[in-house]
Structure formats: C-alpha cells, structure tokens
Structure 1
Amino acid sequence: MTETTSDRTVPVERLKLGDHACMSLREVESPWKVFTAYTRTSLARREKVLLVMNPDDMNDDDVVALMDGGSGHVAAARESGQLSLKRNTEMYLPDGRFQEDRTIDLYTEEVNRAQREGWAGLRLTADMSWAPKVGLDHDRLLDYEASVAPLFADPLFTAICWYDQERFGDGLLNDMAKVHPLRVLENLDSIDATATPEGSRISGSAELGSRAEFIETLREALDHRDTTGPARFVLDLRDLCFMEAHCAWQLISLAGALPDGSEVTVRCGELLGLVLRQLGADEVPQLVLSVEDDEVAV
C-alpha cells in the first residue's frame, strides 16, 4: 500500500471542474491514453479542452488523430474551437523568460474565453518540461504552482500539470504533490491504495486488467487488521471509477470471512453500491454500505 502526500490519488475520470492535479511519468511512458480519456470525457460534457504540449512533441494533426481514433469527435472539436492545442513555450516563455503573473493572466484569459464562447468550463493539461530547459529554480516553480490556487476558486477550470520523473527527480515531485490537492493515476487500468485514519482508500479501476492487483490490495487492507477479534474500519471506494462483478464478489467474500462482529463500512457511489447489493452485500452482516451520490458519471 502506497503513501501519497497529495490528499487523494484519483483516476483521470474522477476529476471535476475546480480540481488542480499533478501527474508524473517516466520518459518511457506515454500520457496519451490518460489525456485521450480526459479529453473525450471533457468534450462530452461541453467543456473546452486546452492541451499545452512540449514543442518537441507530436504535431497538432497527429495529436488530434491519435485522440480521435477515427471517431470524428475530437477532430470536430478542434474545428469548432472546443479543443485548442498550444505549446508550453507559448504559454510560459513567450519571450524566452518566465513571469508568474503573466502566465496566470494568460490562463485567466483562457478561462474567460471559454466562458464567453459558451462552454461549461476549461480543462487543461500542461507539460511542465519547459522549466528545466530555462533553469528555473525548484523553489520558484513550487511557488508558482501554489500561487495559481485562485484560478480554481471558481469551479470553471481543471488542470493536470504533468512532470517527467527522470527530468525533475523524486524530490521535486514529492514536493509537487504537496502543492497539488490531487494526483492523477498514470494508467487507466491501475489501482492505488492509501492508508487513512479510518482504514483504507482505494482508487483506480477494478477491471480485468487490474483484477489481481485489486484483490491483492483488498487482502492487504484486511490483513493489516487485528484478526484475533472483530475488526471495524472504513474502506473508501469513492474514487474507484469502475468495478467488475468478479472484483465486487471478492470484496463481499473477503468481508464475509472476517470474524463475527466485524464491520467493514464501504463508502462508494450509487453505481458501485447497486452492483454490490445485486451480488448480495446486504446479506453479509460484516459489510455496511455507505452510498453517496456519484460526483462523476462512470
């Protein structure tokens, strides 16, 4: 079970307007599956999307083709202006120098433009690789990331700032997690588990590709409890965007195997609560469902 310094680690599908998140990747990894899901979801919600990329990345036509996948929806969004593509030098270093206030003003204008154009909000991804290229001091970069908080006060703006692990190093990335309220999972089918004061939080997607990891994560959460008597703890699954039936059945089975008198409170959204109840969760006395309205459609 991993510990994170951000308050929450979430799959990209759980981001909502007003969220400021970071994501880190190694050079051999690609962010485009995550960004494609992020973009398609945002376009469907009638939000504008702004992708701020490295100048050395793919050209705009290739990016659109990759995310479009032949559907025509992403290409149409680019034609209508709902999708905008820029380079990070344009947003952060227009004259070769970085000025915090100028950058914040540029993003404020992008949010205002999206609103004027009639979109529900603005979703951003920003490649932060420009910073080491100009030798920007780490403390100054951290100060900048902290200073953009007012942009998210009015929930019209969502941003993922993504950092290359090899280029920035673990030290800076750990600090970045402290100034970003959320961390985005780097893969669509991954699982992340975090200890909480009440028990455990599991986020991600419990599907065929991550089934074994999810079940092992569940076992680990239960194994950390005192098995000599009844156990009482909270399993927070509100940031789990999908759970297949087999994984849901495993959760019910593991809870049912706990000693009599144990109580596992599962906090989840309506859809997951429905799946668990259909599989017999209400018949397991050790399992208590605490169902909340889903913030994001899954």
Structure 2
Amino acid sequence: MELPERTVPVERLRLGDHACLEAEDGESAWAVFTAYTRTSLARREKVLLVLDPDDLQDDEVVALLDQDGTGAAEAARSRGQLSLKRTPQMYLPDGGFHQERTIEAYRAEVEAAHAEGWAGLRVAADMGWAAQAGVDGGSLLDYEASVAPLFADPLFTAICWYDRRRFGETLLDGMARTHPLRVTESPGTRTDYVEVLREAVSRQHPTGPARIALDLRDLCFMEAHCAWQLIGLAGSLPPGSEVTVRCGELLALLLRQLGADQAPQLVLEEAAR
C-alpha cells in the first residue's frame, strides 16, 4: 500500500528531519526505536533516547536493543555514543515545563555530540510527560513548532512519540501537521520475512554446518530490522556454515554498516542487477 505523503519508514530519516510517531503500544514504538538506534549507531551518529521514568530501566533498554546478540548497544553506551535519559531531565527538571529551557537543553546536546566527534545527534523522545504534567495542547503544539531552528543545522534528527492512548485525535492531527514528517509503525511483512529465514535455516539444516544462498539482486531496499535479523541468523549458525547473499552495492553497504563483518558465516557477493 502506498504511504501517505510525508510519511516514511524510520530508516529513511536523515539528519535534519523532525518526525512524529503515533503508536498506541510500547512494542510498536520500541520496534521503531530499535531500528532507528541501530541505523544511527552504524552511521556514527550519537543517539539520545529520552524515556518515561516508568518505562524500561537503562540495562533493560540496552538488552532490548542488543537482542541480535552483537552487543553493539552496550558498546555504544560504554563509549558515549548511546545516551539514555528520562523525560523529567529534559522537560521538567524543576517540575515545570519551560519551552526555551528545553530548546536550549537540546541545543547543548547537539553541540556536545559535535564536540565529541559524532556525525550528528539522533533523538527519540516519549512525549507522554506532557499529558502527565497537564501541559495544554496549544502550548505543546507551539513548542513543537518553535524547535524548527534546531533542525536548520543538519546535525540533529528527532522522533517525538505521541501515544494514542494519552492524546486525543485533535492534538494528534495537529502534531501530524506541525511535524514535517511522520514515521510509520513496523510493517506487517517483517514477521513473515523473519519466519521465512528461520524456517529455511531450521528445515534445510537442522544440525551441522549450513550452506544457504540468497539472491537479493532485485531488492533495492531492506528495512534495518530485517537486515539485522539476517545478520543475526547467519551468525547463529554452527561454525563452518556459510550464508551467501548476492546483492547490489547499496544493500551490501547497509549490511556492512549494520555489522555483517561480525558474522563470519555471512558472505556478501556484490553483483550488478
């Protein structure tokens, strides 16, 4: 199905983009945040996740991001590339919301990421704090519109998550108009893709080294989550196994950026279409 104008998969966000996400369950939101984080880390950008205090604890967040088994999120946190903060730190440090103070706080985060040598700063923020603090819809819309100067310098990208269970349709419609972009929730085809891969591995090679060939030359785009699943499944095979992926230059680049070299069982063969 063709997506509405200005609505994009999370992997297509570029530095300088400001997007909103409307998801009414944590699982969908975390699927987006995971793809967003992994892609950003691979691009040598710093990632700041601003979460509700009642959401997952920091170690749980890192474990969720590292479900592929590579440990990339934990390593990123150790070197300062991944930062986890709670919404009161950024939005309500003294219990009240002040628009200019919040904008300055994010500007400081951008400057710090640049000073540390990262290619840019990517933020994902749970906006549920506004509903809990009683911030009125007009003030929130005004805030979202006022952050535009932060995105003028393409070192900053942000996703603002508005949970449909906490915010009314009128406000959500306003947010969709205020944000230049909207991010789609996880596409339904993802599960089918992953299950096909797992079935191919388990059915054809239940024990011992595996030999699998995938011809993806006609595929010009792959969602980051699916790419991570391919890398993870290849890396889980017994020593001596080989998963040969024939693909074009762009897909090969994506797989390498997301850690293909960490799975010796995965062999990439770049081929012209």
Q: Same fold (TM over 0.5)?
A: yes
For residues 149 and 137 of structure 1, what CA distance do their matches in structure 2 show? 20
Match for residue 58 of structure 1? 56
Instruction: Map Cα deviations across residues 38-78 of structure 1 (whole Å, 9 max, x no partner).
Output: 11110111100000000000000000011012211110000
The answer on whether the counterparts of 1:129 and 1:163 sit within 8 Å (CA) in structure 2 is yes
Structure 1 residue 97 corresponds to structure 2 residue 96: yes
For residues 43 and 55 of structure 1, what CA distance do their matches in structure 2 show? 24
CA 72–28 in structure 1, closer or farther in 2 if over 3 Å, else same = closer
With 33-42 and 111-120 compared, the bigger mean Cα shift is at 33-42
- How far has the Cα of 1:208 moved from its partner? 4.6
Match for residue 47 of structure 1? 45
TM superposition score normalised by structure 2: 0.68
Question: Residues 114-129 of structure 1: matches in 2 within 5 Å?
Answer: 114-129=113-128
The answer on whether the counterparts of 1:108 and 1:151 sit within 8 Å (CA) in structure 2 is yes
Instruction: Map Cα deviations across residues 63-120 of structure 1 (whole Å, 9 max, x no partner).
Output: 0011012211110000000000000111000000000000000000000000000000
> Structure 1 segments of 4 or more deviating over 6 A?
none
Amino acid at match of 1:33: A
The structure with the greater share of residues assigned to strand is 1
Q: Secondary structure at the match of 1:165?
A: coil
Q: How many residues align?
A: 203
Unaligned runs of 5+ in 2: 195-219, 224-248, 252-273
The answer on whether the counterparts of 1:8 and 1:183 sit within 8 Å (CA) in structure 2 is yes
For residues 174 and 271 of structure 1, what CA distance do their matches in structure 2 show? 35
Q: Secondary structure at the match of 1:158?
A: strand
Match for residue 14 of structure 2? 16
Match for residue 109 of structure 2? 110
For residues 179 and 241 of structure 1, what CA distance do their matches in structure 2 show? 28
- How far has the Cα of 1:162 moved from its partner? 0.3
The answer on whether the counterparts of 1:11 and 1:241 sit within 8 Å (CA) in structure 2 is no
Which structure: larger Rg? Answer: 1
CA 3–35 in structure 1, closer or farther in 2 if over 3 Å, else same = closer
Q: Secondary structure at the match of 1:166?
A: coil
Question: Residues 58-207 of structure 1: matches in 2 within 5 Å?
Answer: 58-69=56-67, 70-187=69-186, 189-190=187-188
Match for residue 32 of structure 1? 30
CA 112–28 in structure 1, closer or farther in 2 if over 3 Å, else same = closer
Amino acid at match of 2:98: Q
Identity of aligned residues (%): 64
- How far has the Cα of 1:22 moved from its partner? 0.2
For residues 271 and 71 of structure 1, what CA distance do their matches in structure 2 show? 22
CA 208–80 in structure 1, closer or farther in 2 if over 3 Å, else same = closer
Instruction: Map Cα deviations across residues 139-197 of structure 1 (whole Å, 9 max, x no partner).
Output: 1100000000000001000000001001102221111010101000111x358xxxxxx
- How far has the Cα of 1:27 moved from its partner? 3.4
- How far has the Cα of 1:16 moved from its partner? 0.5
Amino acid at match of 1:13: E
TM superposition score normalised by structure 1: 0.63
